Amino acid sequence: MTTEESLERLRTGHKNFLAGAAAPTSSLNLIASLSNEGQHPFASVITCSDSRVAPEILFNCRLGDIFTIRAAGNVLSDYGMGSLEYAFDHLHTPLILVLGHSKCGAVKSACAHDVHGHASLQALIDKIAPAVQIAERNPDLAEDLNIEHTMHDILAYAPFQAHPEIIFGAKYDIATAKIRYLKSFDANLNITTRPWD
Protein backbone atom coordinates (compact mmCIF):
# COMPACT_ATOMS: atom_id res chain seq x y z
CA MET A 1 0.00 0.00 0.00
CA THR A 2 1.24 3.51 -0.78
CA THR A 3 1.30 6.38 1.71
CA GLU A 4 -1.57 8.07 -0.17
CA GLU A 5 -3.66 4.89 -0.09
CA SER A 6 -2.99 4.54 3.64
CA LEU A 7 -4.10 8.13 4.24
CA GLU A 8 -7.23 7.53 2.18
CA ARG A 9 -8.03 4.45 4.24
CA LEU A 10 -7.71 6.46 7.46
CA ARG A 11 -9.99 9.13 6.01
CA THR A 12 -12.59 6.60 4.89
CA GLY A 13 -12.43 4.79 8.22
CA HIS A 14 -12.95 8.01 10.13
CA LYS A 15 -15.82 9.02 7.85
CA ASN A 16 -17.48 5.66 8.54
CA PHE A 17 -16.92 6.09 12.28
CA LEU A 18 -18.56 9.54 12.16
CA ALA A 19 -21.47 8.12 10.17
CA GLY A 20 -22.07 5.66 13.00
CA ALA A 21 -20.92 2.58 11.11
CA ALA A 22 -20.68 -0.53 13.24
CA ALA A 23 -17.17 -1.37 14.38
CA PRO A 24 -15.82 -3.98 11.95
CA THR A 25 -15.61 -7.45 13.41
CA SER A 26 -12.29 -9.18 13.87
CA SER A 27 -13.47 -12.68 13.00
CA LEU A 28 -11.77 -15.87 14.14
CA ASN A 29 -10.75 -16.38 10.49
CA LEU A 30 -9.04 -12.99 10.47
CA ILE A 31 -7.32 -13.73 13.77
CA ALA A 32 -6.08 -17.09 12.44
CA SER A 33 -4.81 -15.48 9.25
CA LEU A 34 -3.00 -12.72 11.19
CA SER A 35 -1.41 -15.39 13.34
CA ASN A 36 -0.36 -17.63 10.45
CA GLU A 37 0.62 -15.02 7.89
CA GLY A 38 1.72 -12.22 10.21
CA GLN A 39 0.60 -8.65 10.55
CA HIS A 40 0.69 -6.02 7.80
CA PRO A 41 -0.66 -2.87 9.47
CA PHE A 42 -1.36 -0.10 6.95
CA ALA A 43 -0.38 2.74 9.32
CA SER A 44 1.54 3.50 12.49
CA VAL A 45 -0.30 5.83 14.85
CA ILE A 46 1.28 7.64 17.79
CA THR A 47 -1.42 8.94 20.07
CA CYS A 48 -2.33 9.83 23.65
CA SER A 49 -3.20 7.17 26.23
CA ASP A 50 -6.49 9.02 26.82
CA SER A 51 -9.34 6.50 26.85
CA ARG A 52 -11.40 8.74 24.55
CA VAL A 53 -8.87 8.55 21.70
CA ALA A 54 -8.56 4.87 20.71
CA PRO A 55 -7.33 4.99 17.09
CA GLU A 56 -8.68 1.56 16.09
CA ILE A 57 -12.17 2.82 16.95
CA LEU A 58 -11.80 6.34 15.49
CA PHE A 59 -10.61 4.89 12.17
CA ASN A 60 -13.11 2.02 12.13
CA CYS A 61 -10.37 -0.61 12.00
CA ARG A 62 -9.90 -4.27 12.81
CA LEU A 63 -7.12 -6.19 14.50
CA GLY A 64 -4.01 -6.12 12.35
CA ASP A 65 -4.81 -2.75 10.75
CA ILE A 66 -2.96 -0.19 12.89
CA PHE A 67 0.38 -0.37 14.66
CA THR A 68 -0.18 1.76 17.75
CA ILE A 69 2.17 3.58 20.09
CA ARG A 70 0.57 5.41 22.98
CA ALA A 71 1.75 7.61 25.82
CA ALA A 72 -0.01 10.49 27.55
CA GLY A 73 0.44 13.65 25.49
CA ASN A 74 1.33 11.66 22.33
CA VAL A 75 5.04 12.01 23.06
CA LEU A 76 7.60 9.47 21.94
CA SER A 77 10.05 7.84 24.34
CA ASP A 78 13.09 5.89 23.12
CA TYR A 79 11.00 2.73 23.37
CA GLY A 80 8.23 4.32 21.35
CA MET A 81 10.69 5.45 18.69
CA GLY A 82 12.17 1.95 18.60
CA SER A 83 8.67 0.54 18.12
CA LEU A 84 8.10 2.95 15.23
CA GLU A 85 11.40 1.95 13.65
CA TYR A 86 10.43 -1.73 13.95
CA ALA A 87 7.09 -1.11 12.24
CA PHE A 88 8.78 0.82 9.42
CA ASP A 89 11.70 -1.54 8.83
CA HIS A 90 10.07 -4.91 9.44
CA LEU A 91 6.35 -4.41 8.85
CA HIS A 92 6.78 -1.76 6.13
CA THR A 93 4.00 0.52 7.37
CA PRO A 94 3.69 3.20 4.66
CA LEU A 95 2.46 6.05 6.89
CA ILE A 96 3.08 7.49 10.36
CA LEU A 97 0.37 9.60 11.99
CA VAL A 98 0.83 11.62 15.18
CA LEU A 99 -2.71 11.96 16.50
CA GLY A 100 -3.14 14.56 19.22
CA HIS A 101 -6.47 15.59 20.68
CA SER A 102 -8.39 18.45 22.27
CA LYS A 103 -8.66 18.82 26.05
CA CYS A 104 -5.54 16.70 26.53
CA GLY A 105 -5.00 16.24 30.28
CA ALA A 106 -1.24 15.86 29.93
CA VAL A 107 -0.91 19.11 27.96
CA LYS A 108 -3.32 20.89 30.27
CA SER A 109 -1.31 19.79 33.31
CA ALA A 110 1.92 20.94 31.68
CA CYS A 111 0.29 24.33 31.02
CA ALA A 112 -1.05 24.64 34.54
CA HIS A 113 2.13 23.46 36.27
CA ASP A 114 -0.07 21.37 38.54
CA VAL A 115 1.51 17.94 38.21
CA HIS A 116 3.36 16.58 41.19
CA GLY A 117 4.70 13.13 40.56
CA HIS A 118 7.80 11.05 40.47
CA ALA A 119 10.57 11.09 37.89
CA SER A 120 8.77 9.38 35.01
CA LEU A 121 5.70 11.63 35.17
CA GLN A 122 7.94 14.66 35.46
CA ALA A 123 9.90 13.51 32.39
CA LEU A 124 6.64 13.27 30.45
CA ILE A 125 5.63 16.80 31.43
CA ASP A 126 9.14 18.07 30.60
CA LYS A 127 8.79 16.58 27.12
CA ILE A 128 5.63 18.64 26.54
CA ALA A 129 7.11 21.78 28.14
CA PRO A 130 8.69 23.32 24.98
CA ALA A 131 5.30 23.37 23.23
CA VAL A 132 3.70 24.87 26.34
CA GLN A 133 6.34 27.57 26.51
CA ILE A 134 5.97 28.64 22.86
CA ALA A 135 2.17 28.56 23.23
CA GLU A 136 2.41 30.77 26.31
CA ARG A 137 0.37 28.21 28.28
CA ASN A 138 -2.57 28.26 25.89
CA PRO A 139 -3.62 24.58 26.03
CA ASP A 140 -5.25 24.44 22.57
CA LEU A 141 -2.20 25.95 20.87
CA ALA A 142 0.16 23.85 23.01
CA GLU A 143 -1.64 20.70 21.79
CA ASP A 144 -1.11 21.80 18.18
CA LEU A 145 2.59 22.54 18.73
CA ASN A 146 3.07 19.35 20.70
CA ILE A 147 1.85 17.35 17.69
CA GLU A 148 4.37 19.21 15.52
CA HIS A 149 7.17 18.57 18.02
CA THR A 150 6.52 14.83 17.91
CA MET A 151 6.53 15.00 14.08
CA HIS A 152 9.91 16.75 14.25
CA ASP A 153 11.22 14.16 16.74
CA ILE A 154 10.35 11.42 14.24
CA LEU A 155 11.95 13.25 11.33
CA ALA A 156 15.12 13.82 13.38
CA TYR A 157 15.53 10.11 14.03
CA ALA A 158 17.92 8.52 11.51
CA PRO A 159 15.60 5.88 9.95
CA PHE A 160 13.07 8.58 9.03
CA GLN A 161 15.31 11.45 7.95
CA ALA A 162 14.93 10.51 4.29
CA HIS A 163 11.16 9.95 4.56
CA PRO A 164 9.40 13.18 5.56
CA GLU A 165 6.60 12.36 3.09
CA ILE A 166 5.29 9.53 5.28
CA ILE A 167 5.00 11.59 8.50
CA PHE A 168 1.67 13.28 9.30
CA GLY A 169 -0.03 14.95 12.23
CA ALA A 170 -3.71 15.38 13.09
CA LYS A 171 -5.87 16.50 15.98
CA TYR A 172 -8.97 14.71 17.17
CA ASP A 173 -11.67 16.82 18.77
CA ILE A 174 -13.09 14.81 21.67
CA ALA A 175 -16.27 16.95 21.76
CA THR A 176 -17.29 16.65 18.08
CA ALA A 177 -15.53 13.31 17.32
CA LYS A 178 -14.10 14.99 14.21
CA ILE A 179 -10.47 15.24 13.17
CA ARG A 180 -9.68 18.94 12.77
CA TYR A 181 -6.75 19.01 10.33
CA LEU A 182 -3.86 17.24 8.67
CA LYS A 183 -0.26 18.37 9.05
CA SER A 184 2.62 17.27 6.85
CA PHE A 185 6.12 18.35 5.85
CA ASP A 186 6.57 20.45 2.72
CA ALA A 187 9.60 20.34 0.40
CA ASN A 188 11.53 22.64 2.75
CA LEU A 189 10.71 20.42 5.74
CA ASN A 190 8.38 23.03 7.19
CA ILE A 191 5.08 21.78 8.56
CA THR A 192 1.96 22.85 6.68
CA THR A 193 -1.64 22.38 7.79
CA ARG A 194 -4.67 21.61 5.62
CA PRO A 195 -8.16 20.24 6.18
CA TRP A 196 -8.32 16.59 7.17
CA ASP A 197 -10.49 15.66 4.16
Binding site for Zn ion (CB under 5 A): 48, 50, 104
Least Å distance, CB 78 to Zn ion, is: 20
For Zn ion, give the closer residue by CB, 50 or 65: 50
Least Å distance, CB 101 to Zn ion, is: 6
Question: Is the distance from CB of 182 to CB of 168 less than 8 angstroms?
Answer: yes
How many alpha carbons fall within 13 Å on the CB side of residue 41? Answer: 26
Least Å distance, CB 89 to Zn ion, is: 28
CA 80, CA 148: separation in Å to the nearest integer? 16
CA 172, CA 180: separation in Å to the nearest integer? 6
Least Å distance, CB 153 to Zn ion, is: 17
Instruction: Give residues with Cβ within 8 angstroms of 95, minimum separation 6.
Output: 3, 6, 7, 10, 42, 43, 44, 166, 168
For Zn ion, give the closer residue by CB, 163 or 178: 178
For Zn ion, give the closer residue by CB, 50 or 144: 50
For Zn ion, give the closer residue by CB, 6 or 146: 146
